Chains A and B, each alone.
Chain A
Amino acid sequence: MNKEMSKDKLLSKHNLRLLYKRKSEVVIVYVIFFALILFASLSSDVFWGTRNLRNLLISNIGLLLITYAQLIVITLGGVDLSVGSIISMVNVAAVTLMTDSVGSWILISILCLIIGVGIGIINGLLVVKGNIQSIIATLATQTIFAGTALLIMSSPKGTLPSELCQFFTRGWGYLFPFLLVIVMTVLIWILMFRTNFGRAIFAVGGSEQAAECSGIRVGRTKIMAFAVSGLISAVAALYISFYSTSGNPLIGESYTQRSITTAVVAGATLVGGKSSVIGCFAAVGIMGIINNLLNLMHVSSYYQFVIQGVILILALAFSAIRSRK
């Protein structure tokens, strides 16, 4: 596999065509992404304003990270409906437990990551040891942990330490959130494309039996993938909580559906074995810019749902037709 990769780097015409063939979905997502940017800059004067761009970045990091978490499970050939409940659990835990001391910030953040990994491992065990399809197993854990979050905090209340929130969303003159995106993206790219674990995920997603026959420990790979997905979800959850600065037991609800959509728009198929880390950035960008534009144009939020749904269907239809050719 490594040899193939290095061959691709020779930018001969043939290889460029090959690259396009293999990555056609990603190319399309970026075409749509840039078309939207072009449309945005033509139709709104404030779009390129520093403030708008900053807001665009910091308000979509949460979705981007949660998309990475979802991507790992989708590449495995499953789907994770529990990411939303991880966000809610982490939010509720962080808001109830964090105090003003730096020590508690670190300790509670670590605890939050452990919560994420824990829920991920439960998902993995249900799927592997319990022999339940991931969509149903995670539907069950989603219900359980969303309920638990609601049990701990029955209505939105409480706030997070404002210095910490400031740092995460605006730290170092907005350099911190920017770096967070870069670092996480690079880490996940390396994990998926440059490690044995990543290769095992692709193999299991492509064909479980073939993976088993070639000596990959399918069960262990699955459990680990769910655990990593849980970990990334927890990081995303921390960011989302710091961005919102307050406690809300229902905060994660919408993220499950959105993360599945963005991961699929990015080029992952729900059958597994395919994925694109780079595509996620454009996919989340597409969603973010659509919302941003609709806000800038003062379109009622009612219309936003319709327009989002229609654009989604169009984007998916477009890439479906394109990839069939």
Chain B
Amino acid sequence: MEKEQDLRQLKLQKILPVVFVYAVMILLAVIINCVSTGFLTVDHIYSILKQAAFLGIVCVGQSLVILTGGIDLSLEYTLLFSNVLAAAIISGQNENTFTALAAVIGVAVLIGLLNGCGVYFLKIPAMIMTLSTGTAVYGLAYIYCNGAPGGFTSDILNQLSNGRFGGIFSGVTIVWIILAAAVIVILRSTVLGRSIYAIGTNRDSADYSGIQVRNVTLIVYIIASVMAAITGYFLLGYTGTSYMSTGSGYNMDSIAAVVIGGTSIAGGSGGYVGTIAGVCIMVLINSLLTILHMPEAVKQIVQGLLIAVLLLVVSGRKKER
């Protein structure tokens, strides 16, 4: 009996932070609806979900990396490179759409592999390793297009990103939903998922208990890069052409969303369910401030305050127990 109670309490402890972020998310939505009456129309929900999808897909990778106790600061540059590469390959031709997807995924696998190898074999701190590869990839993106990205999206990709299905869903939102479902299932009930938590909790003991730390680390960094590349690919469809500023801010935003969602930055605890709410909170607060005609600077300040306050509340509750 006692064991059962303990188990129940443990489950409650896990669920509470997630419930909390979802409550904040709903509260934000309600506030927006009050500030700008009738904001929550089908059109607006469609566009919010679309914006959330881009950040959400990046966060799929970032959550996995953070859960293993790492961090990936190369994501926004991988995203940029894939965006530039896809634009150049597609250059408006429908038949090139999926060649480009294959190409950006291929490049992303290489970047992720490099990150994973540096972190696992050379034991370079993830933050520094990914920052270094990120810097190199950023330079490569510039060299590839000589500082001026050429090419533009094809109709198919445009349809995939912006097309509307069932009122509130865009193509990229559906991709996000599929990926989110996949990552939640993977984390909950596969060997890979459980290994990720084990490595994040204690790498050495995971190693001793027979978990394939090497393979899991490599896979996680590869997934992260691929997710960033997919985001860059769909962003091309969204914006039409490629810009050198594409993706800037995604590193910090993805980390913030993951951490707001209740995942510990030290790794080992959390999950993607909370991250979804974290992503929505980031997008909603942005919409709210846009509605209020706040300048970019104020948006930044509020975002920073929000991160600090949400985390203070979460960690404060942890202390009480």
Contact = CB atoms under 8 A, between A and B. Distances in A.
Nearest to B319: A131
Contacts of A131: 315-316, 318-319
B298 A151 contact: yes
Contacts of A142: 304
A263 to B, nearest CB: 10
Contact of B295 (A126, A132, A154, A320): A154
A141 B319 CA distance: 22
Given A313-B132, A320-B124, A306 B139 contact: yes
Nearest to B307: A140
Contact of A147 (B137, B298, B308): B298
Nearest to A132: B311
Interface of B is mostly: helix
A316 interface: yes
A131 B308 CA distance: 11
Given A140-B304, A147-B304, A269-B125, A261 B132 contact: yes
B163 interface: no
A137 interface: yes
A64 B300 CA distance: 28
Nearest to B301: A147
A55 interface: no
B305 A309 contact: no
Q: What range describes how many residues of A lie at the interface?
A: 35 or more
B305 A257 contact: no
A309 B132 contact: yes
Given A133-B266, A257-B131, A146 B311 contact: no
Interface stretch (A65-73, A170-178, A220-228, A297-305): A297-305
Interface stretch (B17-25, B198-206, B251-259): B251-259
A43 interface: no
Nearest to A269: B125
A146, A147, A269, A316 — which one has the most chain B CB atoms within 10 A of its CB?
A: A147
A144 B305 contact: yes
Given A133-B265, A306-B136, A309-B133, A144 B301 contact: yes
Contacts of B91: none
A317 interface: yes
Contact of B136 (A135, A151, A310): A310
A211 interface: no
B27 interface: no
A303 B303 contact: no
A305 B307 contact: no
B125 A309 contact: no
Interface residues of B, number: 49
B312 interface: yes
Contacts of B128: 260-261, 264, 270, 312, 316
Nearest to B313: A130
A148 interface: yes
A182 interface: no
A140 B129 contact: no
Interface string B39-82: 00000000000000000000000000000000101000000000
Nearest to B73: A257
B138 interface: yes
Nearest to B318: A131
Contacts of A179: none
Contact of A143 (B124, B265, B304): B304
Interface stretch (B8-16, B140-148, B216-224, B272-280): B140-148
Given A313-B133, A317-B122, A143 B296 contact: no
Contacts of A321: 122
Contacts of A320: 122-124
A317 B129 CA distance: 10
A140 B295 contact: no
A139 interface: yes
A79 interface: yes
Interface in A258-312: 260-261, 264, 269-271, 300, 302-310, 312
A224 to B, nearest CB: 21
B301 A143 contact: yes
A98 interface: no
B128 to A, nearest CB: 5
A49 B9 CA distance: 71
A308 B313 CA distance: 40
A150 interface: yes
A309 B311 CA distance: 33
B311 A150 contact: no
A180 interface: no
A313 B132 CA distance: 6
A148 B139 contact: no
Interface string B163-181: 0000000000000000000
5 contacts: A132-B315, A135-B265, A142-B304, A148-B297, A260-B131
Given A136-B255, A305-B138, A306-B139, 11 more contacts: A131-B315, A136-B265, A139-B256, A142-B304, A143-B301, A147-B302, A302-B139, A303-B143, A305-B135, A312-B135, A313-B136
